[in-house]
Amino acid sequence: MTMSTDLSGGPTSQALYEAVRKRRATKRRTKKDENEITYLNITPMLDMMTIILVFLLKSFASSATNVNVANLVLPNSTTKLEVEEAIQLMVTPEAILVDQRVVAKLNDGQIPEEDLQESYLVEPLYDALSAKAEYFKKIES
């Protein structure tokens, strides 16, 4: 578009008006483009989905109890009943474990004399089970 000029050689008021209007319209369009989201950033969404996936994989278990002792082999079971969650008590040739924590060491599968203390009661095992019982009583109440 060519600008029209008046007799003195300068632009006419109509031409100035059109030029100012065009410049303002261009500014408005560029401001809209700056504030407008032109793409979708999916990186944060993928991060969130990865975190959820890792959480679900870590918390999922196919059964209620898992035995993680290398030298312990459980017998096969044919029962159809579901396993109920309970305190895990494992006796291996090396130790007695309560919830996968060693409470008493064994010597060749035998309980040491200092753990018996004049009775057939294994004191460290009794203490660990009593502590667990108190813990569950506090949770229930």
In order along its 141 residues, the chain shows pLDDT tens digits of 555 555 565 667 888 888 889 888 887 776 555 566 667 788 988 999 999 999 888 877 555 566 666 677 777 878 888 777 778 888 888 889 898 899 988 888 888 877 776 777 888 888 999 999 898 888 887
Predicted local confidence at residue 87, as pLDDT:
84
Predicted local confidence at residue 36, as pLDDT:
65
Q: Which residue has the tokens 């065009």?
A: 22
Predicted local confidence at residue 52, as pLDDT:
93
Asked if residue 29 belongs to a domain, the reply is: no
Query: Could you count the other beta carbons within 10 Å of the beta carbon of residue 115?
Result: 17
Encoded tokens for 115: 């753990």
Predicted local confidence at residue 66, as pLDDT:
62
Instruction: Look up the domain containing 103 and give its range.
Output: 89-140
Asked if residue 64 belongs to a domain, the reply is: no
Rounded to 5 degrees, what angle do the CA atoms 135, 107, 72 make? 65
Asked if residue 106 belongs to a domain, the reply is: yes
Asked if residue 124 belongs to a domain, the reply is: yes
Asked if residue 110 belongs to a domain, the reply is: yes
Asked if residue 49 belongs to a domain, the reply is: no
Gap between the Cα atoms of 114 and 10, Å rounded: 113
Asked if residue 38 belongs to a domain, the reply is: no
Give the total number of structural domains in the chain: 1
8 A C-beta contact, residue 129 and residue 98? yes
Q: What is the DSSP string of 63-94?
A: SS-----TT--PPP----SPPPP---EEE-SS
**What one-letter code names the amino acid at 126?**
Y
